[in-house]
Amino acid sequence: MSESQTMPDIAETGLTSAQVADLKANGQSNAVKSSTSRSLADIVRANVFTLFNGIIFAAMILVLVTGSWKDAVFGFVIIINTGIGIVTELKAKRTLDKLSILVASDYLVRRDGADVQVPHNEIVLGDIMWIRAGEQVPADARIVRSWGLELDESMLTGESRTVRKSKDDDIYSGSTAVSGMALVRVTAVGAHSYAATLTAQAKVYKKTVSDLNKGINTILKFMTFLVVPLCVLLIWSQMNAVGGWNAAVSTGEWRSAVISAVAGVVGMIPEGLVLLTSLNFAVAAMRLARKNTLVQELESVETLARVDCLNLDKTGTITDGGIMLNRVEALDAEADMRSIKQALFDLSNEGQPNGTGQAVLAGLDEQGFSAGRVDARVPFSSARKWSSIFDGSAVWTMGAPEVMVSQMDGDYADILRKVDEYAKDGNRVLLIARHGGAAPADYESEPSLDRSSRPVALVLCSEHIRSDAESTLRWFREQGVRCRIISGDNPVTVGAIARKVRLTGDREPRFMDARELPEDIDELAEVLDNVDVLGRVLPNQKKAVVQALHRNGHVVAMTGDGVNDALALKEADLGIAMGNAAPATKAIAQVVLVDSKFSHLPDVVARGRQVMANMERVASLFLVKTVYSALISLGVVLTQIPFPYLPRHITYIGGLTIGVPAFILALAPNTRRYIPGFLKRVVRFALPGGIAVALSILLSTWLLPGIMHWDVSNAADLAQLRALNAIVLFVLGILVLARVARPLVGWRGLMVLAFAAIGALGVAIPFVRRFFALIVPRGSTLMATLIMIAVAVAIFLVCVGTARVLSMRKQAGKTEKI
């Protein structure tokens, strides 16, 4: 016998094949077109045509035109950086395109008078469809007839309890049938269904805002205003330095003039910083992946460092969604506990027990109980709020205490007070009552609770709290991150769970019913300051809570697992989904805890802080080069001297004093909390060092030709001067590195010494020396080099020391005002 033949006979014949074909032709099927707001072309265009790539590419072309390919090696960073950006965003696009709240599966619909299986996308408007236990509702519908259908709507509403559905009730796509079944008529399909509407709002592409990238882009934009005019002026000044335009063109000296100009331009662009930022995000993401944490947008790693407000969904985050049996408490000291527990087992042992029933069965099974005698049964109904069995000698009933007590003779106020106390502790409390007589004749057709039944025991169940919840919340408190629990469940119950996990430490958590929240965002922001737990929260309210916290200047992270969390996760600065979350929720979250362990969050935040703190060091290192390159270029233009060094010099020096050390520093352990003002601190660090380097190199270029009797119009003498300046620049680069890497203890000090030694060793290797146009100074050149190094170190110490004194005075002034 087929499955459809076992179904109750229904007069409905369903749609005809012709009607189905017409509806599909008119686009009224359950198929949803899935696409993100960014096409492949948009992604490639956004990553290729950037300000950074434009400047570097133009500079590379200029150098290649001169034929000096050795001075154009800096251009490879374009390919690497662009590739990382495109691959990352394509991965995000694929994730967003797969976004779907609904599980794709086949459903039983009635067509032409027969029940047939059709795919999810083939369901059409007006279809008569069966919804059976275990199935996810694929489209919005209205119930034609129900056989005890109960739905889990937690993915939509956030409430963990099941909801009983009757004839003419509306049901929505995304909910799941827990028990029973129903015949329904489809009322909305495809993009018009409730789940698809939520999906459409969640799928809008939103790029994670990176404070680090914003700072770097600010530097790049500022440098653009300098680069273009300075590049023109540098070419003009270099042409004059080789005898003017006519002489430069006729003798071919224009090539050296262009290379010199590019040396200034490339030095001003922190190209390694852009690349290293992308790489550092990627490495952090890979490290987190080893701890079952998936980072879906690399920039979100940095956002982790700035989070100061964490909104937690109760189910799936604080609790694991499961229910556990705590204990059975007899109300009479002489009661037969074994008989009570046996009855409790049989009461829960329905065909498809709900979550509470499953918890009771699991708990009693561990104690050795198994199915007993049941002569008659009334299954649990959320409308009645109780279930009942007759075991041949007595009728046992289990259900909601307040409902059962109201239908029994006697005064049970003491029992209700006890129930209330247990409920405030976060327990789900059920009452067991017993009636010694036989089941009435109409027991199954018209079930009712015998008024002579007497309470015999209370059953205490609770949501299973994750073992790591309390320690994780304690870590966040110590780190200054304000945590709130936001749930669709009863605020009293959620407040009790918050108390158990010590959400607010020693202080009692303050809870509130979300139905009392103001709709005005500004008023909501004020209310939230005094609330730790929100219950009965609707999906749009979760989003409004995030918006209100933003209004107060908070950086908000949000955890969730249901569709009801999707909009809030999208609105938050950082969306964190559990691994067992709905597909839609995982797809829009920037971070997914694959194994759903809340305890991974401290690792996630710590990794973000490491990235931000280390990248601040690295940015300071790179920006020193930007400052001195700009100042040297300006000095060259104003004094009409040859540019002090070649692009390949800056490639060699930058690689050993900035590039490779920066990569090491970026990956080093660092637990410093994020402090606002990233760009200001970087600039404050870079200015004194950059000024000192620029002044030293310009002095060397101005004074050495006279001291050494060099003629800079002579190619050999100019090469000597540039090679000597490269040595001075390398020494100062090591000093800047030492300043950034402080404290110089352990591996940090060894790193600085190692790169200083590698730089000196490179000069001694003939191939390296020739490729990078370096020299080993001897005789009078060595003496001049040592003098210029001494002068440069003195200038550096004076500039850095002056900056430190000024900073201390400024800080002291602020303290006095306070």
- Distance, CA of 432 to CA of 169 (rounded, Å): 31
Report which of residues 777 and 490 the model is more confident about.
777
The highest-confidence range among 520-529, 637-646, 657-666, by mean pLDDT, is 520-529
pLDDT digits (tens, 9 = 90+) for 539-571: 778 889 999 999 998 989 998 876 667 778 888
- Distance, CA of 453 to CA of 497 (rounded, Å): 33
Closest-CA residue to 517 (of 496, 547, 494): 547
Tell me the residue ranges of DSSP E strands in 194-318.
293-295, 309-313
Catalytic residue chosen out of the listed positions 313, 489, 561, 565: 313
> Quick one: pLDDT at residue 124?
92
Burial class for 490, CB neighbours closer than 10 Å (0-12, 13-18, 19+): middle
Closest-CA residue to 686 (of 667, 658, 663): 658
Say which residue the tokens 């890497």 belong to.
Answer: 741
pLDDT digits (tens, 9 = 90+) for 678-694: 788 888 999 999 999 99
Closest-CA residue to 257 (of 271, 243, 269): 243
Question: Does residue 2 register a pLDDT over 50?
Answer: no
Q: Which residues contact 275 (CB under 8 A, 6 or more apart)?
A: 77, 80, 81, 84
Omega prior to 688 cis, within 30 of 0 = no
Closest-CA residue to 469 (of 490, 511, 500): 500
| Overall pTM > 0.75 | no
Question: Does residue 214 register a pLDDT over 50?
Answer: yes
pLDDT digits (tens, 9 = 90+) for 711-738: 888 888 989 999 999 999 999 999 999 9
- Distance, CA of 580 to CA of 594 (rounded, Å): 8
User: Residue 574: what are its φ and ψ, rounded to 5°?
Assistant: -140, 115
pLDDT digits (tens, 9 = 90+) for 327-373: 999 998 888 899 999 999 999 988 767 778 888 999 999 999 999 88
Residues in the chain: 818
- CA–centroid distance for 660 within its chain: 29
Q: Based on the residue annotation, tell me whether 313 is a catalytic residue of this protein.
A: yes
The maximal CA–CA distance of the chain, rounded, in angstroms, is: 122
User: What are all long-range contacts of 577-584, with beta carbons under 8 Å and residues at least 24 apart?
Assistant: 578/316, 578/317, 579/292, 580/316, 580/321, 581/316, 582/101, 582/155, 582/174, 583/98, 583/99, 583/100, 583/101, 583/103, 584/99, 584/100, 584/101, 584/195, 584/198, 584/199, 584/202
pLDDT digits (tens, 9 = 90+) for 420-452: 888 877 788 899 999 987 776 555 556 788 888
* Reported confidence tier of residue 471, pLDDT bands at 50, 70, 90: very high
Q: In this predicted structure, which of 437-446, 483-492, 632-641, 695-704 has the lowest mean pLDDT? A: 437-446
pLDDT digits (tens, 9 = 90+) for 609-646: 787 788 888 888 888 988 998 899 889 888 888 889 88
- Adjacent-strand bridge partners of 578: 593
- Adjacent-strand bridge partners of 293: 593
- Which two three-digit tokens encode residue 686? 């870079």
- CA–centroid distance for 596 within its chain: 14
pLDDT digits (tens, 9 = 90+) for 447-467: 788 888 999 999 998 888 888
pLDDT digits (tens, 9 = 90+) for 36-93: 445 677 777 767 777 667 777 777 887 787 777 666 666 676 676 677 667 756 765 5
pLDDT digits (tens, 9 = 90+) for 173-195: 877 776 678 999 999 887 777 76
pLDDT digits (tens, 9 = 90+) for 95-139: 545 544 443 467 899 998 888 999 878 899 999 999 987 677 888
- Distance, CA of 500 to CA of 513 (rounded, Å): 19
Q: What is the mean pLDDT of the chain?
A: 81
* Reported confidence tier of residue 4, pLDDT bands at 50, 70, 90: very low
